[in-house]
C-alpha cells in the first residue's frame, strides 16, 4: 500500500508501505497512482513528497511477483512517467535504500533528497534483469553514460555521498530527511518543472562515445561467461545514446522481456531467496534459528597462520573483532605476521577508497603470540592448522584446558570428523566446524558443521559470526567432506576418469568453463595444489606405501580408482606452485596454464599400460558425467539430513565452488534439466561403469522421479525423516 497524508495544507505526502522493504507490489503501485491523482486534483496541494515507511524508501519491484502472471504485463514505467508528468513538484525523500524500481520511482521525481546513510542502486542485473522502469533511459540523462553504465551493469549500491557527487541526488542530509524534503518542496513551489523532467533531457555527449561503448562491451563480454543480463543492460544504455526517449523505452521493454523469460532470471531470483532461506537454519534434532541465541564474540583467536589462518585473521580484523593470532614457533609466527600485515594493508587500501578505515596496528586489536596462555580470555577460537587429525586433537585438548569454559572452539577443516576432534575436549557441546574457503578474507561461503554434541548456542554463535564477517553461513551435518567437498569428490573423480578414457584436461575444463564455472576441475586442482588431496589419499590408505601389496592399480576397495593424480604427484607435479601439474606454467607460481605434451604422452602410455581403448568423448558426456555425479551425491546428502534443503547445497556451490549463479546451483539446475532426464542419464552411465558407485542413482532421486518429478520446493516433503516436520 501507499499512505496518503498531508504535511501541511500545501504538501501531500505519499508514503510507500509494504514491510519489510516497501517492495513495489501491484497494490503499492496502484495506491501510488491514486495518491498522485488525488494530489493533482486538490487545488490546495502545491507540492508532493514521496517517501517510504520505516526508514526505507523502497527495495524495488517485488521479486516474488516476477513469476506471477498477474504482474507480468505491468509496466513500472507507466507509474514513473505519471510522477514525472505531474504538474506539481514531486520530491523523493530517500532513507535506507532506494534500489531497482525504488530508485526508478525516485528518478521520476523532480527532486531527490537522501539521508547520508542511504544507499541507492539498480541491482536488477544481479537478479538476471535490467532496470525495466525506464531507469536505463533516465539515469544516463541525469549522470552521464559512463557512471550510469557502471551502476546498471554492476548493480552495485551507491552510498549517498557518492550519489551526491554523481548528481544522482540534489541534497544529502545528516538529520531528518523528511523535514529536509519538505523544506525543499516548499522552496521549489512555482519553479518551472520542464528542466527537472529527465525524459526531456538529452544524454550528455562524450567526445569518444563510440570508442567508450565498444571498449565497455568488450570488457563486459569477457566477464559475462554466458550471463545475459550485463550485455542486455549495456544494449539498453546504448539505446539511450542513440534513440529518442520513447524509442529507448520501447527497446528497454523489449530487452527486459527477453531477460524475464530467459531462465537465467528465474535462477538468479531463486538464488536471491535461497541465500536468505539458509539463514533460517534447522537441524534434524529440532534446534533452529528460532530457538537458539548466539553469544557475543568480543575477542577471538586463530591458531595457525598458514594460507587459511591468515585469511581468517584478516576477516576478523576487518569485522572489528579483536584477534589473538597464534603460531607454534617464532619463525612461523614472523612469516605469518608479515603475510597478515600485507593482506591487511591491501584491504585497508581498498576500504579507504570507500572512505572507511581499518585499525590493525593496535595490539589490543591484533596480537601475535606463540603462547597459548594468551587465549585464556577469548570468547572463540578458530583452529586453522593443516588437515591432520592427531595434531588437531592435540590442539583441542590444550584449548579445552586453557580457554575459559564458555569459549567456543571452532575447527577450520574441509573434511575431518568434527565429533572426533570434539572428543579431545571436555566440552564437545562448544565445538563446531567452520569451513572457510580460500582466500578466506574474500570467499563468501562459510560451511558451519555441527557434530553430535554441538549445542544450538554454538551453532547460532557460528552463524552470527559468519554474518559479522559478511559471509554466507550454511549449517550442515557432519560427514566426510561435509556437503560441499563431498559433492566435489565425484565431480573431480569423473573428470579424471574421462582422461583415462580418452579426454584431455583442457577439453574437460573447456566444457565446464563454457557451462559457466569460473575455472574447470583441472585448473582448479592445479591452483589448489595436487599435494593436498594426495596427502589425504595417503592418509586414507588409497595411495602410497599404505596400499596393500598386490592391490590392482585401478581399483580400491572393489571400486574403480584412478592413480593418475598420484602419478603426477610422484613426479613432483603439484600444480601452479611447482610450475607443473595437469598443465604446464611459465614458472613455479605461474598462473598461465598451457596444455602440456608431457602429460599427453603420459596419458597415451597410461592407456596402453592399462589396456584402455581410447575413445572420443563428446561435450555432452563430459558435462553430464561431471555434473550429474555431483548432483547425485547432493540427493544422498539431502536424504541423510546432512543439509536441510536443496537451497543449502545451491548456496554452497554458488559461493564456495564458483558454480555459475545464473544457473541457480546444482540442485536447481537438476530441476531445470528435469529429474527423469538426470536419472536416465545416470542409469546409462552407471551401466557403462558399474564399478563407479558415484554414478549409481541415489534412492532419493529415484523416489522423486517415481512420484512425478515434483518442483524443487516440495522435494524435502518426500523424505520421511522427522526433520521434515520441524
Ligand X SMILES: CC/C=C\C/C=C/C(=O)SCCNC(=O)CCNC(=O)[C@H](O)C(C)(C)COP(=O)(O)OP(=O)(O)OC[C@H]1O[C@@H](n2cnc3c(N)ncnc32)[C@H](O)[C@@H]1OP(=O)(O)O
Of the candidate spans 128-136, 142-150, 191-199, 492-500, the one that interacts with ligand X by CB under 6 A turns out to be 128-136
Edge-to-edge strand order for the sheet containing 11-16?
2-8, 11-16, 47-52, 90-94, 111-115, 171-173
- Minimal distance, residue 566 CB to ligand X, in Å: 46
**Cell numbers for 261:** 523469460
**Cell numbers for 625:** 558425467
- Minimal distance, residue 96 CB to ligand X, in Å: 8
Q: Which is nearer to ligand X, 73 or 207 (CB)?
A: 73
Of the candidate spans 59-67, 351-359, 487-495, 710-718, the one that interacts with ligand X by CB under 6 A turns out to be 59-67
- Minimal distance, residue 494 CB to ligand X, in Å: 36
Q: Which is nearer to ligand X, 470 or 587 (CB)?
A: 470
Q: Which is nearer to ligand X, 64 or 320 (CB)?
A: 64
Closest listed residue to residue 256, CA positions, set 419, 74, 382: 74
Residues 94-123 that bind ligand X (CB under 6 A): 97, 99-101, 123
Q: Which is nearer to ligand X, 56 or 537 (CB)?
A: 56
Residues 541-570 that bind ligand X (CB under 6 A): none
Q: Is the dihedral of CA 691, 694, 699, 703 positive or negative?
A: negative
Q: Is 64 a residue that touches ligand X (CB under 6 A)?
A: yes
Give the residue, chosen from 132, 248, 490, 665, that forms a contact with ligand X under the rule CB under 6 A.
132
Task: Point out which residues pair with 423 in neighbouring strands.
Answer: none
- Minimal distance, residue 71 CB to ligand X, in Å: 6
Edge-to-edge strand order for the sheet containing 158-159?
97-99, 119-121, 158-159
Of the candidate spans 93-101, 145-153, 246-254, 357-365, the one that interacts with ligand X by CB under 6 A turns out to be 93-101
Contact between 95 and 57 under an 8 Å Cβ cutoff? The reply is yes
- Minimal distance, residue 132 CB to ligand X, in Å: 3
Q: What is 177-212 written as a DSSP string?
A: HHHHHHHHHHHHTTS--GGG-GGGSPPPP-TTHHHH
CB atoms within 10 A of CB 363: 10
Give the residue, chosen from 13, 49, 50, 74, that forms a contact with ligand X under the rule CB under 6 A.
74
- Minimal distance, residue 99 CB to ligand X, in Å: 4
Q: Which is nearer to ligand X, 147 or 472 (CB)?
A: 472
Please give the size of the binding site for ligand X, defined by CB under 6 A: 24
Tell me which H or E stretch contains 633.
helix 619-639
Tell me which H or E stretch contains 654.
helix 646-656
Q: How far apart are CA 628 and CA 361, in angstroms?
A: 49
- Minimal distance, residue 135 CB to ligand X, in Å: 7
Give the residue, chosen from 48, 86, 109, 127, that forms a contact with ligand X under the rule CB under 6 A.
127
624 is catalytic: no
Burial of 383 (0-12, 13-18, 19+ CB in 10 A): buried
**Cell numbers for 658:** 564458483
Q: How far apart are CA 43 and CA 509, in angstroms?
A: 68
104 is catalytic: yes
Using the structure block, give the residue that is written with the C-alpha cell 589448489.
Answer: 528
**Cell numbers for 297:** 564474540
Q: Is the dihedral of CA 673, 677, 683, 687 positive or negative?
A: negative
Q: How far apart are CA 423 and CA 389, in angstroms?
A: 11
Q: Which is nearer to ligand X, 123 or 428 (CB)?
A: 123
- Minimal distance, residue 20 CB to ligand X, in Å: 5
Q: How far apart are CA 174 and CA 172, in angstroms?
A: 7
Of the candidate spans 56-64, 203-211, 304-312, 432-440, the one that interacts with ligand X by CB under 6 A turns out to be 56-64
Burial of 459 (0-12, 13-18, 19+ CB in 10 A): buried
The residues, ordered by sequence, that sit 6+ positions from 374 with a Cβ below 8 Å of its Cβ are: 301, 324, 326, 367
Of the candidate spans 124-132, 354-362, 472-480, 717-725, the one that interacts with ligand X by CB under 6 A turns out to be 124-132
Burial letters for 163-174: b for 16+ Cβ neighbours within 10 Å, e otherwise? bbebebbbbbbe
Alpha helices in 502-616 (DSSP H): 505-515, 521-528, 530-539, 564-570, 597-609
Contact between 306 and 384 under an 8 Å Cβ cutoff? The reply is yes
Q: Which is nearer to ligand X, 168 or 617 (CB)?
A: 168
- Minimal distance, residue 97 CB to ligand X, in Å: 5
**Cell numbers for 124:** 536488477
Give the residue, chosen from 11, 13, 16, 23, that forms a contact with ligand X under the rule CB under 6 A.
23
Q: How far apart are CA 547 and CA 696, in angstroms?
A: 26
Give the residue, chosen from 60, 309, 311, 645, that forms a contact with ligand X under the rule CB under 6 A.
60
Using the structure block, give the residue that is written with the C-alpha cell 596427502.
Answer: 535
Question: Of 104, 252, 633, 647, which one is the catalytic site residue?
Answer: 104
Q: Which is nearer to ligand X, 252 or 596 (CB)?
A: 252
Give the residue, chosen from 32, 48, 63, 642, that forms a contact with ligand X under the rule CB under 6 A.
63
Give the residue, chosen from 53, 124, 379, 383, that forms a contact with ligand X under the rule CB under 6 A.
124
Of the candidate spans 57-65, 355-363, 429-437, 438-446, the one that interacts with ligand X by CB under 6 A turns out to be 57-65
Question: Of 53, 84, 95, 124, which one is the catalytic site residue?
Answer: 124
- Minimal distance, residue 332 CB to ligand X, in Å: 38
Residues 248-307 that bind ligand X (CB under 6 A): 273, 276
Of the candidate spans 92-100, 244-252, 503-511, 684-692, the one that interacts with ligand X by CB under 6 A turns out to be 92-100
Alpha helices in 112-172 (DSSP H): 135-143, 145-154, 160-166
Q: Which is nearer to ligand X, 108 or 133 (CB)?
A: 133
Q: How far apart are CA 665 and CA 646, in angstroms?
A: 9
Q: What is the DSSP letter of 548?
A: P
Q: Which is nearer to ligand X, 44 or 54 (CB)?
A: 54
Task: Point out which residues pair with 4 in neighbouring strands.
Answer: 14
Burial of 436 (0-12, 13-18, 19+ CB in 10 A): buried
Contact between 415 and 537 under an 8 Å Cβ cutoff? The reply is no
Q: Which is nearer to ligand X, 21 or 343 (CB)?
A: 21
Q: Which is nearer to ligand X, 98 or 149 (CB)?
A: 98
- Minimal distance, residue 353 CB to ligand X, in Å: 21
Q: Which is nearer to ligand X, 129 or 267 (CB)?
A: 129
Of the candidate spans 58-66, 146-154, 186-194, 389-397, the one that interacts with ligand X by CB under 6 A turns out to be 58-66
- Minimal distance, residue 126 CB to ligand X, in Å: 6
Of the candidate spans 17-25, 533-541, 542-550, 613-621, the one that interacts with ligand X by CB under 6 A turns out to be 17-25
- Minimal distance, residue 274 CB to ligand X, in Å: 10
Give the residue, chosen from 13, 14, 21, 317, that forms a contact with ligand X under the rule CB under 6 A.
21
The residues, ordered by sequence, that sit 6+ positions from 305 with a Cβ below 8 Å of its Cβ are: 313, 325, 327, 332, 333, 335, 336, 337, 339, 340
Report CA dihedral (722, 484, 666, 121) to the nearest 10 degrees: 100
Residues that bind ligand X (CB under 6 A): 20-21, 23, 59-64, 71, 74, 76, 97, 99-101, 123-124, 127, 129, 132-133, 273, 276
- Report the catalytic residues: 104, 124
Amino acid at each position: 500500500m501507499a499512505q496518503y497524508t498531508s504535511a501541511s495544507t500545501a504538501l501531500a505526502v505519499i508514503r510507500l508501505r509494504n514491510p519489510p522493504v516497501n517492495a513495489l507490489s501491484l497494490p503499492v503501485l496502484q495506491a501510488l497512482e491514486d495518491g498522485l491523482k488525488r494530489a493533482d486534483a486538490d487545488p490546495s496541494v502545491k507540492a508532493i513528497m514521496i517517501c517510504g515507511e520505516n526508514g526505507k524508501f523502497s527495495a524495488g519491484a517485488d521479486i516474488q511477483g516476477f513469476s506471477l502472471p498477474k504482474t507480468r504485463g505491468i509496466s513500472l514505467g507507466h507509474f514513473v512517467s505519471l510522477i514525472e508528468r505531474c504538474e506539481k513538484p514531486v520530491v523523493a525523500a530517500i532513507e535506507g535504500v532506494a534500489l531497482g524500481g525504488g530508485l526508478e520511482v525516485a528518478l521520476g521525481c523532480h527532486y531527490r533528497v537522501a539521508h547520508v546513510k542511504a544507499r541507492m542502486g539498480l541491482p536488477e542485473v544481479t537478479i538476471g534483469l535490467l532496470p525495466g522502469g525506464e531507469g536505463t533511459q533516465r539515469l544516463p540523462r541525469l549522470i552521464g553514460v559512463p557512471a550510469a553504465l557502471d551502476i546498471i551493469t554492476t548493480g552495485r549500491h551507491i552510498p549517498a555521498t557518492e550519489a551526491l557527487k554523481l548528481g544522482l541526488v540534489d541534497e544529502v542530509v545528516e538529520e531528518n530527511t523528511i523535514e529536509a524534503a519538505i523544506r525543499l518542496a516548499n522552496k521549489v513551489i512555482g519553479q518551472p518543472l520542464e528542466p527537472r523532467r529527465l525524459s526531456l533531457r538529452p544524454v550528455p555527449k562524450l567526445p569518444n562515445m563510440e570508442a567508450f561503448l565498444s571498449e565497455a562491451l568488450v570488457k563486459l563480454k569477457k566477464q559475462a561467461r554466458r550471463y545475459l543480463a550485463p550485455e542486455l543492460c549495456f544494449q539498453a544504455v546504448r539505446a539511450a545514446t542513440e534513440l529518442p526517449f520513447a524509442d529507448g523505452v520501447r527497446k528497454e521493454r523489449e530487452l527486459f522481456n527477453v531477460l524475464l523469460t530467459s531462465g537465467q532470471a528465474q535462477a538468479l531470483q531463486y538464488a536471491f531467496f535461497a541465500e536468505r532461506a539458509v539463514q533460517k537454519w534447522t537441524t534434524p534434532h529440532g534446534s533452529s534459528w528460532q530457538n537458539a541465541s548466539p553469544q557475543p564474540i568480543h575477542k577471538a583467536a586463530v591458531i595457525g597462520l598458514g594460507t587459511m589462518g591468515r585469511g581468517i585473521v584478516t576477516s576478523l580484523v576487518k569485522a572489528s573483532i579483536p584477534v589473538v593470532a597464534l603460531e607454534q614457533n617464532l619463525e612461523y609466527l614472523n612469516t605469518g605476521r608479515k603475510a597478515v600485515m600485507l593482506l591487511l594493508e591491501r584491504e585497508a587500501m581498498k576500504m579507504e577508497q570507500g572512505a572507511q578505515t581499518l585499525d590493525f596496528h593496535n595490539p589490543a586489536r591484533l596480537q601475535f603470540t606463540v603462547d597459548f596462555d594468551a587465549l585464556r580470555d577469548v570468547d572463540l577460537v578458530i583452529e586453522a592448522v593443516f588437515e591432520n587429525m592427531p595434531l588437531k586433537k592435540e590442539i583441542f585438548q590444550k584449548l579445552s584446558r586453557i580457554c575459559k569454559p564458555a569459549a567456543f572452539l571452532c575447527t577450520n577443516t574441509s573434511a575431518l570428523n568434527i565429533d572426533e576432534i570434539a572428543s579431545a575436549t571436555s566440552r564437545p557441546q562448544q565445538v563446531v566446524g567452520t569451513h572457510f574457503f580460500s582466500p578466506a578474507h574474500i570467499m563468501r561461503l562459510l560451511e558451519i558443521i555441527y557434530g553430535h554434541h554441538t549445542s544450538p548456542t554454538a551453532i547460532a554463535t557460528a552463524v552470527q559470526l559468519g554474518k559479522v564477517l559478511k559471509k554466507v553461513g550454511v549449517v550442515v551435518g557432519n560427514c566426510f567432506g561435509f556437503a560441499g567437498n563431498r559433492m566435489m569428490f565425484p565431480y573431480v573423480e569423473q573428470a579424471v576418469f574421462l582422461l583415462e578414457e580418452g579426454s584431455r584436461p583442457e577439453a574437460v575444463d573447456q566444457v565446464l568453463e563454457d557451462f559457466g564455472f569460473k575455472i574447470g576441475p583441472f585448473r582448479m586442482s592445479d591452483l589448489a595444489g595436487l599435494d593436498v588431496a594426495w596427502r589425504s589419499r595417503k592418509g586414507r590408505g588409497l595411495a602410497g606405501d599404505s596400499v596393500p601389496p598386490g592391490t590392482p592399480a585401478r581399483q580400491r576397495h572393489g571400486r574403480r580408482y584412478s592413480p593418475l593424480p598420484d602419478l603426477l604427484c610422484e613426479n613432483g607435479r603439484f600444480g601452479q606452485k611447482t610450475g607443473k601439474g595437469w598443465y604446464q606454467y611459465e614458472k613455479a607460481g605461474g598462473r598461465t596454464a598451457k596444455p602440456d605434451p608431457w602429460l599427453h604422452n603420459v596419458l597415451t602410455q597410461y592407456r596402453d599400460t592399462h589396456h584402455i581403448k581410447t575413445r572420443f568423448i563428446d561435450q555432452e558426456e563430459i558435462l553430464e558425467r561431471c555434473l550429474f555425479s555431483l548432483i547425485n551425491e547432493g540427493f544422498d546428502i539431502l536424504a541423510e539430513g546432512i543439509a536441510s534443503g536443496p537451497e543449502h547445497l545451491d548456496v554452497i556451490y554458488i559461493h564456495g565452488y564458483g558454480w555459475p549463479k545464473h544457473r541457480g546451483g546444482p540442485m536447481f539446475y537438476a530441476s531445470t534439466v528435469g529429474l527423469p532426464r538426470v536419472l536416465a542419464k545416470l542409469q546409462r552411465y552407471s551401466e557403462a561403469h558399474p564399478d563407479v558407485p558415484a554414478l549409481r542413482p541415489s534412492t532419493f532421486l529415484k523416489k522423486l522421479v517415481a512420484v512425478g518429478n515434483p518442483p524443487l520446493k516440495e522435494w524435502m516433503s518426500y523424505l520421511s525423516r522427522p526433520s521434515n516436520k520441524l
